[in-house]
Structure 1
Amino acid sequence: MKRLGVDFQIQALDGKTINRIQEQCTHYTGKGSKREKVLDEEQFGALVIQRACLIPDWSARELIEKYGTPTEAILGLLLAGEIAKLSSEILEISGFDSDEDEIKN
């Protein structure tokens, strides 16, 4: 990431991990028949990045002292578009390809 001067090293995540993160970031709105699941996409992206990044280490003491948690460090240091792009790359290498045509064929 040029803006931060850091080369990110990421790894793929398994389906169970991604499902747990998704459940953790999902809440419900409304009542009765109008009840809907809502995914906090920013939180989801930050947690995916936290779990998949080998470098940088989001749990480094300096970051925790400044931001409180690894997730807060990610949200504090990365722009929204950077979080979206990086989490999208992680999901892609984890086998969650956004190209639905390939899945259908």
Structure 2
Amino acid sequence: MSNLQQFLNAHPIDNLTDEVVISERFKGEDGKRLKFKIKAMSNRDFDDIRRQSMEIRKNKKVELDLQKFNSAIIINHTLEPDFKDAASIQATGSLNPEEYLNKVLLAGEIAELSMQIQRLSGFDQDMDELVNEAKN
């Protein structure tokens, strides 16, 4: 069995999670930064979210609605806090998880959290870095 095969067998992607800081704004009472717990997307998750985020525009042109895409990534792949929590949605006067998300996070925080989830899901690799790593 090759080293790569052994590595893959020992490192399945099921339940891959991480804790990330997305903004200086989130601090606990003790002054320490609060972290978001996120989970990686599977290939199927990514395809489903991308498909659901497509919009048909004028001239039947299909485009990705980036706001819808980022919201779906965050809502479905953030473990803590839970953006689907009914009590939290109700407490803020929101009607659904999307509205709640936009009520509690700034635009840059939404972009950063979505980017962190995408990174954890393998979308952070720069091709030059991969080539250099493969050479070594």
TM-score between both structures, scaled by the size of structure 1 = 0.82
Residue 10 (str. 1) matches residue 38 (str. 2): yes
CA shift for structure 1 position 40: 1.3
What is the match of residue 3 of structure 2?
none
Q: Which has the larger radius of gyration?
A: 2
Note the aligned Cα RMSD (angstroms): 1.9
Q: Secondary structure at the match of 1:89?
A: helix
Deviations 1:50-85, CA, capped at 9 Å, x for gaps: 111110011222222121111211112111111111
Unaligned runs of 5+ in 2: 1-22, 28-33, 132-136
Distance in 2 between residues matched to 1:30 and 1:9, nearest whole Å:
39
Q: Secondary structure at the match of 1:57?
A: coil
Give the paired residue count.
101
Q: Describe how 1:43-62 pairs up with structure 2 within 5 A.
A: 43-62=68-87
Distance in 2 between residues matched to 1:102 and 1:38, nearest whole Å:
30
Residue 36 (str. 1) matches residue 36 (str. 2): no
TM-score between both structures, scaled by the size of structure 2 = 0.65
Q: Which has the higher contact order (CA 8 A, sep 6+)?
A: 1
Unaligned runs of 5+ in 1: none
